Amino acid sequence: MKELEEKIRREGQVRPGNILKVDSFLNHQMDIDFINEMGKEFKRLFSDRPINKILTIEASGIGIACITAQYFHVPVVFAKKSYSINLDGSLYSTKIQSFTHNRVYDVIVSKKYLTPNDHVLIIDDFLANGCAVNGLIELIGEAGATLEGVGICIEKGFQDGGSKLRASGVNLHSLAIIDSMSDNDVIFRSQDE
C-alpha cells in the first residue's frame, strides 16, 4: 500500500534494535482516517474468505483489528497477556515471546470466544520474527477453528517471520514490507497486488 510506505518514510523513526516507531499514526496517536484506509485494504485482500471473526493480541493490534472488523461486520477477539493464569479448563493458552519487551507472556483466549465454527482472520500491526502470529495460530489450532488468513500492517521482511509463514502455506498479506531500514531511509519490497 503506497500511502502506508509514504507515511512510514515521512513519520517513522528507526530505533536501535531494529525497532520502527510509528507512534504518530498507529502505536500511540492513531490516525483514524488513515487506519480506516488500511481496514478497507484488508477487506479487499481477504474478501474471498468466509471470515466470521478477527483475532488479534493486546494491546497494539486492537485498534487496527476493530477498524478492519467494521468492513467484515464480524466480532474482534483479542488474546490477553496474562500474568497469572488460572487454567481451569475455560481458556486456551500459549506462550508468546515479545519482540519489543524482550519477555515471554502467557496469552489466553476464553473458550467461549473461539470455537470450531470460527473462520478466523488474524490482524496485527507488525510482523517481525512471527512469535505473536504463531502464538495466535496455536490458539486457533487449540480451538479447532480455521485460519483463513493473516493481515499485517508493517512486515519487517529482514526478519524471518513472514517468509516462514508463507513457506508453511499461510495466506499472509502485509500492507508494507520493509527490506531494510536505517536512520536515513526505509527501503520497501515491491508488491504487485
Kindly list the residues in this chain that would bind ligand 5GP in the complex (CB under 6 A). Answer: 19-21, 27, 60, 99-100, 124-132, 156, 161
Cell numbers for 122? 488474524
Report the nearest approach of ligand 5GP to the CB of residue 90 (Å). Answer: 25
Report the residue number, 17 or 112, with the smaller CB distance to ligand 5GP.
17
Cβ closer to ligand 5GP: 24 or 146? Answer: 24
User: Nearer Cβ to ligand 5GP, position 16 or 116?
Assistant: 16
Integer Cα distance of 172 and 189 in angstroms: 15
Give least dist CB 101 to ligand 5GP, A: 8
Tell me phi and psi for residue 64, to 5 degrees: -65, -35
Closest distance to ligand 5GP from the beta carbon of 34 (Å): 16
Closest separation between CB of residue 82 and ligand 5GP, Å?
16
The bridge status of strand 13-15 relative to strand 19-21 is: antiparallel
Q: Given the complex with ligand 5GP, which of 12 and 90 has the nearer CB atom?
A: 12
